[in-house]
Structure 1
Amino acid sequence: MKQIKSLEAVAFSRYIRMSPFKVRRILDQIRGRTYEETMIILSFMPYKACPVILKTIQSAAANATNKYNVDPSLLFISEARADAGPILKRFRPHAQGRGFPIKKRMSHIISLI
């Protein structure tokens, strides 16, 4: 039986000032879909994370095109994940002189085509 070698291209977006929970909500919608279908879905979704994910997916497609000379219409999203980045820790004043901690989260977005 003949083995087909999978060609993969990857793109990273690091230190995105957005919670990984909010990014994962969108990545779950596009994982396993074709590149063209993903572009359509992301361009019409109303979430703040969509332009950042769109840019990362386009970068991975450009990497695949330049590295393997593949037509973008043949590509599909094999892996898309958002990992937690560093957390900015801030304090907000509360009643009676207390401080209330606020965690401003960051994400690392990885897309594999």
Structure 2
Amino acid sequence: MIMQNPYREVYALGQHISMSAHKARRVIDQIRGRSYEETLMILELMPYRACYPIYKLVYSAAANASHNMGFNQASLVISKAEVNEGTTFKKLKPRARGRSYPIRRPTCHIRIVLQDTSLYDLNEDFYGLEEDQIFCLKKAEWKNKYNDMTYHNMYNSGGLWDKK
């Protein structure tokens, strides 16, 4: 019987995506630590423009996991999701009286890392790991705190403030 390495992760990287890194982080923070299927539902229903490229990256990372590593898509969890700033495209727009106005188009690099949680269900003694190494493998406790989807949507919970 061949033992699987519990440290295997699968990722997808999208470079030079034409949007601000700050706007992409707003969406990435909502899906970090969630399961694959729950993430796809969240990204389909969120009203932001950044959701579509992130949706494609999550879908691509899951396809990499199932095709290259043989992971089951139902047991995938987003372990890491990061957004870095890319290059900024600079153009000049002609304005009145022969002047020019600079236009900056920011880009970003998005990296989605998926991890297979079915490996955590197996007996850790089977791998012969020490107790401190098992702690690194297990799912972090803070991820259980964010299971409620309404927790993140703090702006719609109370509506607009009434100034009277």
Partner of 1:33: 34
Greater Cα offset, 61-70 or 98-107: 98-107
Q: 1:62-81 residue pairs with structure 2 within 5 A? A: 62-81=63-82
Q: In the TM superposition, what is the alpha-carbon distance from 1:81 to its structure 2 partner?
A: 1.1
- Residue 101 of structure 1 deviates from its aligned partner by 2.7
How far apart are residue 94 of structure 1 and its match? 5.8
Unaligned runs of 5+ in 2: 115-164
Give the residue type in structure 1 aligned to 2:36. Y
Separation in 2, partners of 1:35, 1:6: 18
CA RMSD after TM alignment: 1.7
The AA in structure 1 aligned to 2:46 is M
Letter in 2 for 1:72: Q
TM-score in terms of structure 1 length = 0.87
* Structure of higher CA gyration radius: 2
Query: Superposed, which structure 2 residues align to 1:1-113 within 5 Å?
Result: 5-92=6-93, 98-113=99-114
**Deviation at residue 52 of structure 1 after TM alignment:** 0.5
Aligned residue-pair number: 110
Q: What amino acid is aligned across from residue 76 of structure 1 in structure 2?
A: V
Range with bigger deviation, 60-69 or 25-34? 60-69
Unmatched runs of 5 consecutive residues or more in structure 1: none
User: Which TM-score applies when normalising by structure 2?
Assistant: 0.62
Higher normalized strand content (fraction of residues): 1
Runs of 4+ displaced beyond 2 Å: 90-102
Tell me, in whole angstroms, the C-alpha distance in 1 between the residues paired with 2:29 and 2:96: 40
Counterparts of 1:33 and 1:95, CA distance in 2: 50
Aligned identity (percent) is: 43
**Higher RCO (Cα < 8 Å, 6 or more apart):** 1
